[in-house]
Amino acid sequence: MAYDAEDTRRRIFAAASAEFADHGLAGARVDRIATAARANKQAIYLYFGCKERLFAAVLRAKLEELCGTVSIDPDAVAESVGRIFDWYQDHPELIRLLLWDSLEVCDDPDNERERRDAFRGNVRQLAGTDPAAPPDTGRVRAAQDLLFTLMGLIAWNFAVPRMCRMVLDEESEEAALARRRRTVIETARTLAAQHLHSGLTR
């Protein structure tokens, strides 16, 4: 059977996603990734260069997957937030990767620039502005604040699921998350009306 480089890459990527989510950057081991991927360590270094670059590639791909799957419709913010909530629930590794990134990864200007550009696109979409048009400062800034607030409103539920269960006094994390989903959607609806309207009047 011929060597399938793309399949090897996919296996390495899937194994690295699980390893980094469980152990972070410092605790992850390339030999465990290689074993889980049924690949050799040399292939990992060949395709990704080093463990740090592999972590950055995994996180970037997960964020791109989220943005490519669900986006925030400025005319239906609450419904979009519900779909993003569901995506996080189906992909618990993303929040863990983001937390490890905050705890362990030093500033990387090139990586930050790339992610900043992606978020600018999300903001423009939420603000309902043409990407080629001059920025409408009030509306864009309101959309920036709204986007970050919504991200926190969604992600915190998955960052501390046991605390969510205890604060809400529910018997299970599933029941707590179902209740939180309803609350997050309604809160998003209210915040969108307030933020985007205030942006138009600045």
> Do 145 and 192 meet the contact criterion of CB atoms below 8 Å apart?
no
- Asked whether residue 12 carries a pLDDT value surpassing 70, the answer given is yes
pLDDT of residue 117: 81
CATH number at residue 88: 1.10.357
Average pLDDT, the chain: 87
Can you give the length of the chain in residues?
Answer: 202
Q: Is the pLDDT of residue 154 over 50?
A: yes
Band (134; pLDDT cuts 50, 70, 90) = low
Report percent pLDDT > 90 for the chain.
Answer: 56
Integer Cα distance of 184 and 78 in angstroms: 8
The answer to which of 15-19, 41-45, 120-124 has the lowest mean pLDDT is: 120-124
Are residue 53 and residue 75 in the same domain, yes or no? no
Tell me if 94 is assigned to some domain: yes
Distance CA 161, CA 166 (A): 9
State the Cα–Cα distance between residues 20 and 149, nearest whole angstrom: 26
pLDDT tens digits, 59-117: 989 988 888 888 888 889 999 999 999 999 999 999 999 999 999 887 676 777 777 88
pLDDT on residue 72: 86
Would you say residue 200 has pLDDT above 50? no
CA nearest to 89, candidates 70, 103, 117, 116: 70
Query: Domains in the chain: how many in total?
Result: 2
Q: Same domain, yes or no, for 136 and 84?
A: yes
Q: Give residue 114's pLDDT.
A: 78
Are residues 170 and 107 part of one domain? yes
Say if residue 42 is in the same domain as residue 129.
no
Domain boundary among 26, 58, 90: 58
65 assigned to some structural domain: no
pLDDT level of residue 201 (50, 70, 90 thresholds): very low
> Mean pLDDT, to the nearest integer, of 5-26?
92
Of 17-26, 40-49, 170-179, 191-200, which range is least confident?
191-200
In a domain, 64, yes or no: no
Q: Are residues 74 and 14 in the same domain?
A: no
Residue 71: per-residue pLDDT: 83
Which CATH number goes with the domain that contains 36?
Answer: 1.10.10.60
Q: In this structure, is residue 63 part of a structural domain? A: no
Q: Which amino acid is at 68?
A: G
Per-residue pLDDT at 3: 59
The predicted pLDDT at position 51 comes to 92
Shared domain check, 165 and 125: yes
Neighbours of 190 (CB within 10 A): 11
Intra-chain end-to-end CA distance of the chain, in Å: 64
Quick one: 104 and 187 in the same domain? yes
Quick one: average pLDDT of 152-162?
93
Note whether 35 and 94 are same-domain residues: no
Asked whether residue 189 is domain-assigned, the answer is: yes
Q: Are residues 16 and 76 in the same domain?
A: no
Does 8 reside within a domain?
yes
Pair (76, 53) in one structural domain: no
Domain that includes residue 83, residue range? 70-201
| Whether residues 146 and 125 fall in one domain | yes
Residues 39 and 87 in one domain: no
